[in-house]
Chains A and B, each alone.
Chain A
Amino acid sequence: MTEGYYDYPVVRRPVWTWEVPAYFWLGGMAAGAFVTASLAQTLGSTDDRRIAADGYYVAAAALVPCAPLLIADLGRPDRFHHMLRIFKPLSPMNLGAWTLTGFTPLAFARAASHAADTGLLHGPLRALARLAPRRLVELAGSLLGLTLAGYSGVLLGATNIPLWAKSKLLGGLFMASALSSGSAAVTLQAARRGAPDATLHRLATVESAASLGEMAILTAYLMQSGKAARPLTTGRFALPFWLGAVCAGGLLPLVLHGVTRRGHGTRLQSVSTAAAVCTIAGSLVLRWSIFEAGKVSSGDQAASFELSSD
């Protein structure tokens, strides 16, 4: 047992507020939806392509509040553009700012060309939207999207907060959560538009794969974190974490997709919708509870000493 200086924290409490997990959630969902839609465009059947393209709307819509949220969280929002005065990928914060700056116009361009295809845009706007080279936008957008989905957990991990830094899997966890919520957002749209059963089943399989991965990484993350995970697994954030993020957000959608594996018609659509809503909400609760529990963890003197032990 190490003797510290009274019960004072070793590290400072993070100053970030709710805007940060909200941004991680929305940015991750946008990226996940874009990647899912792009994979369907490249490899899917005609139905899959038509349905999954709605994912580009989800991506564009989810990205709208992202930059404002990030700016609102700054101590000096009027200086937000200082993020882009240098290119410094060593800093995940700088890399993230550049990635968001690059991904946002691509997601909007691809959503616009989808709108042009479906007749939502007319006249010169339609001509303009069709100018974007689709395959290139899909490829570049998917790469930037995966970066956006993956950097947030690395950013939190690249600190000295025990809950965030002890395990090296937080980046992978947030990536999986982004992909499960993003593909769930595509499912949600597909179910709403009455997609064919086969397409809904395939989307459910993709979503379940991401959720399974998420639960596996979460298990490994908690085991590696050990005692440092206590602010998350016990106390104030235990209920939202276990009930919201794990049960409702991870296990329940897997069960729901399991029971409708051979389902069809409106029953399949409503179950798919329910599962997708659970996954999306669970993804927010996961980010929020890990983020907020990190603030508690910053006061965990013993965990700080363990993190820095030889």
Chain B
Amino acid sequence: MIDGYKRFMNLEEPLPPKKAKGFFTDTSLCIGCKACEVACKQWNQLPADGFVITGNSYDNTGHLGATTWRHVQFIEQAKANGNRQEQRWLMMSDVCKHCANAACLEACPTGALVRTEFDTVYVQQDICNGCGFCVPACPFGVIDRVPKESTFEVGTAHKCTLCYDRLKDDMTPACAKSCPTASIQFGDVEELRRRARERLGELKARGESTARLYGMPEGKEALEVGPLHAFFLLLDKPQAYNLPEVPRLPRTTMAERYGWSAAVGIGFAMVAALVFRSGRR
């Protein structure tokens, strides 16, 4: 009977899992060339976002969105050191984190958002009906819906696919391929984590005391959304890069929210029952 149901619903067996793939973005190596942004747009045939000068350093991209899946941040920091001003320029290529417990995937009511055989999070464009619930669910502000007046895959939700099409052919995602400094590294998540720990040790030994990893299994950012399959080496607090300290997974508080809602409903029913009963003789 289950087989018949699957045939009727045209359900496919999930593909056998492969090794988890991801990105390790080492921001200490980023030079802000934006090659990743361009390569991503080219490979995925994403339209331009318009010509906007934000006035915020060299960042004229602003944020990740439906048609922007890599975003290079330029953080200018000035600190007084005695009677001298010390300048620091941090750069970071932001991307979808491909969370182990992805809020977007859990929110999706159609099953358009799925976990692939590479343990990445992917939007099936032929399923998504553009309900928009994944957009505010994501704690990182990654996924977005294409406006109805756009020329590109109108009305559905989009984000980084980790170049699912390239992965299928054993190719490196476009951004990592184009990165000239190996700031964006692609590979098996396990191997990348090993490399990240090694690199952090190196930097600490050189006196980079504020360097840290963001998105590792032991980090507090993994408390709710789990380890990130696209994780980062940062040179400052996560907030400096607009990253939440503990990204929230809506599921963790859902039972309590339903509980309050149910309590109000039951309370009302009881009061109304007493009132109506009082009118009966």
A interface vs B, CB < 8 Å? 2-6, 8-16, 35-36, 39-40, 42-45, 47-48, 73-77, 79-80, 82-83, 85-86, 88, 90-94, 97, 142, 146, 149-151, 153-155, 157-161, 164-165, 168-172, 174-176, 179, 183, 198-199, 202, 205-206, 209-210, 213, 217, 294, 298, 301, 304-305, 307-310
Contacts and interface: CB of A to CB of B under 8 A. Distances in A.
24 contacts: A2-B239, A8-B242, A10-B243, A15-B144, A35-B268, A44-B279, A75-B156, A82-B110, A83-B109, A88-B109, A92-B254, A146-B262, A150-B258, A153-B261, A160-B250, A161-B136, A171-B260, A171-B261, A175-B265, A202-B276, A209-B268, A209-B275, A305-B244, A308-B139
Contacts of A183: 272
Contacts of A170: 257
Interface residues of B, number: 79
Contact of A83 (B129, B135, B138, B243): B129
A85 B9 contact: yes
A76 B156 contact: yes
A163 to B, nearest CB: 11
B20 interface: no
A74 B131 contact: yes
Interface in B237-275: 237, 239-248, 250-251, 253-254, 256-258, 260-265, 267-269, 271-273, 275
Nearest to A177: B264
A168 B256 contact: yes
Contact of B132 (A75, A94, A150): A75
Contacts of A217: 260, 264
Given A76-B130, A158-B250, A202-B279, A10 B141 contact: yes
B244 to A, nearest CB: 3
Nearest to B253: A168
Given A74-B131, A75-B130, A199-B279, A36 B272 contact: yes
A11 B63 CA distance: 10
Interface of B: 9, 56, 59, 62-63, 65, 73, 75, 103, 106-112, 127-133, 135-148, 154-157, 220, 237, 239-248, 250-251, 253-254, 256-258, 260-265, 267-269, 271-273, 275-281
A272 to B, nearest CB: 15
B254 to A, nearest CB: 6
B245 to A, nearest CB: 5
B58 to A, nearest CB: 12
A34 B279 CA distance: 19
A58 to B, nearest CB: 16
A3 B277 CA distance: 59
Given A179-B268, A202-B278, A91 B112 contact: no
A141 B243 CA distance: 44
A190 B265 CA distance: 23
Given A74-B155, A172-B264, A175-B261, A14 B135 contact: yes
Nearest to B107: A91
Given A150-B265, A171-B258, A175-B261, A48 B137 contact: no
Given A35-B269, A305-B245, A308-B244, A75 B136 contact: no
B145 A75 contact: yes
